[in-house]
Homo-oligomer: A and B are copies of this chain.
Amino acid sequence: MKSTEPVCQYELKAARDAMEVIQGKWRIPIVISLTYGTKRFGEIHRDIPDISPKMLSQELKALEENKLITRTLHDSMPVTVEYALTPLGMSLRELLDELRNWGKHFRGEIVGK
């Protein structure tokens, strides 16, 4: 097979955009954690124990800026802060499913052979 068809730059840009939003070690785990429901900071931290609190704050902020999650302050005693996925964050579901599926497939191929 010999084909030198150039790539479609628009398609490439869209995939890059997506990668930029979910990049790094932590954003995907945080979004997955929130697919299990609205959570407080400590609850997310319990799901992802190897992240530092500082990094978790920072990544939650980045996800909020990209409109994937909301941060809601409850004027309770004590004050609580809850994080939840927005509809845009929830729209990551199919992509997360594919990431999981492919991750399992990859592991099976690499480790299993």
Contact = CB atoms under 8 A, between A and B. Distances in A.
A103 B98 CA distance: 14
Interface in A40-57: 43, 46-48
A77 interface: no
Chain A residues touching B, majority SS: helix
A17 to B, nearest CB: 4
A43 to B, nearest CB: 5
A107 B3 contact: no
Interface of A: 1-7, 11-19, 21-23, 25, 28-29, 32-33, 36-39, 43, 46-48, 66-67, 84, 88, 91-92, 94-96, 98-107, 109-110
